[in-house]
């Protein structure tokens, strides 16, 4: 299956987000792929508020099934969440469970004025009432496949398709 | 109560090699120790937020079983559990069922019948936490919060976490543990953690009467004098002089002890200029440490307390997930 060029999708996403910026807009990336995208968005859009990152491991709903993720990175929200307009960034929007966890975590930092969602790829099959306001591309993929964003040594982003291991996503 | 003795096998890992209980740092592989330290890094951020709480252990019941008095350690475990959204029950058993004659295992059986998910155990008998862990159903986790002279793994983990925060790489450090090694479960757990994490030189500094026999077997270098032992050291881990464990007169007086082994600015100057000073608390000022050092700029004693919460949150959440 021919996958789209991630760099092109990112350019598309940046163009959509650019139209909606306000002075209090903040970008927050979800580890790991979402952080790579958020770094690029943050840089290209020249935002004044510093970039935030989230590792949602402490808020996941599958802790009871699979336990704690073995490699957790600290979340870092270096701006005042109270009253800010946050654009949450993730690589692949699928069940919506990661986004639910991310929203819950953000609210433990304060009450944002709004949260919108930017996703490089929306592959459908949502299990929660969650939608992205900015989407690079909608892709229809078989449920036994896992779509992953990757970054090479030069920092170039690309998409790859893998056979799903049960404990992923 | 019966003498429980230390188990020779190590029942801390489940059949998949994951941490089931935390009973001692002895025999724990480095990747498990590092995973606890890395996870604790993420919890440090949580404890600095407005809402110092994550929903990870919502609905879980954690019982703090303290058969030996302790305010500080029990409180840090309680705070850690509450910041993970668990329900915590504190039991000060020294003054309840034990005095009515109930055995240790009857006590924990009763509590597990109340659907406990985790026990945090402190006991004056070495091996008490092991005994409870072996007795429990596999879905129940046990954390040793100090057993006799044997082990105090979460204290050792928060100590190495603090060291890593200030000194980054374990593999080029010279660490001195100073004081009452003989009675100290903290020292034993520290030595195992430090050597597993690759610290090339761990020293113990103490008078002969406060050292266990054959302490060299743990892989440490033994010194009896501060002037030699503190030379070029990166980290000083002071121990509390355990008055309550001093069954026989092993020291002429605490004044005499302070003269030779109390950490003063003068003695600290023998170590590297950027050496850090740790103490597990509670401190005996003017006995094992001088106030000028305890409150000085090389002291990391209060950061230890702060990091202790994050490290205990990491241990509890890793255990509960395995």
Q: Is B26 helix (H, G, I), strand (E, B) or coil?
A: coil
Cross-strand partners of A145: A163
Closest Cβ opposite residue B56 in set A58, A74, A76: A58
**How many residues appear in chain A?**
169
Q: Over the stretch A27-62, which tens digit does the pLDDT of each residue have?
A: 999 999 999 999 999 999 999 999 999 999 999 999
> Domain B153-300 belongs to what topology?
Rossmann fold (3.40.50)
Whether residue B120 contacts residue B152, with contact meaning beta carbons closer than 8 Å, is answered with: no
CB environment B232-267: b (16+ within 10 A), e (fewer): ebbbbbbbbbbeeeeeeeebeeeeebbeebbbeeeb
Q: Is the backbone of residue B85 left (phi > 0), alpha (psi -120 to 50) or beta?
A: left
| Domains in chain A, CATH or no CATH each | 6-67+81-163 (3.40.50.2020)
Interface of B with A in 18-37 (CB under 8 A): 18, 35
Whether residue B129 contacts residue B142, with contact meaning beta carbons closer than 8 Å, is answered with: yes
* CB contacts, 8 Å: B14 with chain A: none
Q: What is the CATH number of domain B30-151+306-321?
A: 3.40.50.1370
What residues of B form the annotated binding site for L-aspartate?
100, 185, 240
> For B32-54, what is the mean pLDDT?
94
User: Could you state, in order of their start, the residue ranges of all structural domains in chain B?
Assistant: 30-151+306-321, 153-300
* CB contacts, 8 Å: B18 with chain A: 67
Q: Is B115 helix (H, G, I), strand (E, B) or coil?
A: coil
> For B120-124, what is the mean pLDDT?
94
Confidence of residue A168 (pLDDT cuts 50, 70, 90): very low
Which runs of E-coded beta strand occur in B61-105?
Answer: 61-66, 87-92
- Mind giving me the DSSP string for B161-172? HHHHHHH--GGG
pTM equals 0.90
Which is nearest to B112 in space by CA: B171, B166, B65? B65
Q: What residues have CB less than 8 Å from A119, skipping those under 6 apart?
A: A89, A90, A91, A92, A93, A132, A134, A135, A136
Query: B153-300: same fold as B30-151+306-321?
Result: yes
Say yes or no for a CB contact (<8 Å) between A58 and B49. no
**A63: its two tokens:** 């802790």
Q: In this predicted model, which residue has the larger pLDDT, B102 or B193?
A: B193
Q: Does B47 touch chain A (CB under 8 A)?
A: no
Q: What is the pLDDT of residue B38?
A: 96
**B14: its two tokens:** 């489940």
Say yes or no for a CB contact (<8 Å) between B317 and A68. yes
Whether residue B292 contacts residue B265, with contact meaning beta carbons closer than 8 Å, is answered with: yes
């Amino acid at each position: 299956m021919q996958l789209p060029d991630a760099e092109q999708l990112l350019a598309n996403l940046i163009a959509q987000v650019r139209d909606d910026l306000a002075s209090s807009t903040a970008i927050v990336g979800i580890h790991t792929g979402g952080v790579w995208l958020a770094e690029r968005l943050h840089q290209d859009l020249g935002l004044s508020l510093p970039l935030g990152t989230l590792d949602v491991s402490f808020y996941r709903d599958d802790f009871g099934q699979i336990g704690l993720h073995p490699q957790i990175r600290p979340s870092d929200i270096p701006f005042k969440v109270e009253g800010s307009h946050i654009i949450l960034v993730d690589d692949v929007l699928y069940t919506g469970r990661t986004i639910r966890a991310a929203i819950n975590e953000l609210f433990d930092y304060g009450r944002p004025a709004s949260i919108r969602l930017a996703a490089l790829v929306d592959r459908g099959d949502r299990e929660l009432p969650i939608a992205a306001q900015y989407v690079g591309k909608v892709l229809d993929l078989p449920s036994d496949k896992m779509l992953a964003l990757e970054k090479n040594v030069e920092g170039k982003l690309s998409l790859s398709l893998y056979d799903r291991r049960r404990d992923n996503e | 109560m019966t003498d429980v003795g230390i188990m020779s096998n190590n029942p801390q890992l489940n059949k998949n090699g994951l941490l089931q209980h935390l009973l001692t740092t002895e025999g724990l592989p480095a990747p498990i120790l590092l995973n606890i330290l890395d996870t604790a890094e993420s919890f440090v951020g949580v404890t600095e937020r407005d809402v110092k709480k994550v929903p990870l252990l919502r609905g879980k019941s954690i019982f703090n079983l303290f058969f030996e008095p302790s305010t500080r350690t029990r409180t840090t475990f309680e705070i850690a559990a509450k910041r993970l959204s668990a329900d915590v029950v504190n039991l000060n058993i020294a003054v309840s069922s034990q005095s009515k004659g109930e055995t240790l295992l009857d006590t924990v059986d009763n509590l597990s019948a109340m659907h406990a998910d985790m026990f945090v155990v402190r006991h004056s008998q070495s091996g008490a936490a092991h005994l409870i862990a072996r007795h429990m159903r596999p879905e129940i986790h046990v954390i040793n919060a100090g057993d006799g002279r044997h082990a105090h793994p979460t204290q050792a983990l928060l100590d190495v976490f603090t060291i890593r925060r200030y000194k980054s790489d374990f593999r080029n450090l010279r660490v001195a543990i100073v004081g009452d090694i003989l009675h100290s479960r903290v020292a034993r757990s520290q030595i195992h953690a430090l050597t597993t994490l690759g610290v090339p030189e761990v020293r113990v500094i103490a008078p002969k009467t406060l050292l266990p026999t054959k302490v060299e077997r743990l892989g440490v270098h033994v010194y009896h004098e501060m002037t030699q032992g503190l030379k070029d050291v990166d980290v000083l881990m002071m121990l509390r002089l355990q008055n309550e464990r001093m069954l026989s007169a092993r020291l002429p007086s605490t004044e005499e002890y302070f003269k030779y082994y109390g950490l003063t600015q003068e003695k600290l100057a023998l170590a590297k200029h950027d050496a850090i000073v740790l103490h597990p608390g509670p401190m005996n000022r003017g006995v094992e440490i001088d106030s000028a050092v305890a409150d000085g700029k090389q002291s990391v004693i209060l950061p230890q307390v702060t990091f202790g919460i994050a490290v205990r949150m990491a241990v509890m959440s890793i255990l509960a997930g395995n």
